[in-house]
Amino acid sequence: MKKRNLALYFLSVLLIVSYFLILFLSLDTSKASKLYNEYYIEKTIDDFPVGGELR
């Protein structure tokens, strides 16, 4: 097998493993700040204009 192909396979495995790691880190939202949970999300969801008009 050519060295270039080996390098491509290695990079592919590396990328896929890192995707799983990122996904795993994303599922843990305990690190999300209090501001993020209470201010951003709540404010965004409560005030977002649905159908072009503010609820």
Give the span between the Cα atoms of 46 and 34, in whole angstroms.
17
| Nearby residues of 54 by Cβ (< 8 Å), 6 or more positions away | 47
25 near another protein, rule: CB under 8 A = yes
3 near another protein, rule: CB under 8 A = no
Q: How far is CA 11 from the centre of its chain?
A: 21
The binding track of 5-24 with respect to another protein, each residue x by CB under 8 A or -, is xx-xx-xxx-xx-xx--xx-
Site residues for another protein per CB under 8 A:
4-6, 8-9, 11-13, 15-16, 18-19, 22-23, 25-27, 29, 31-33, 35-36, 39-41, 43-45, 47-52
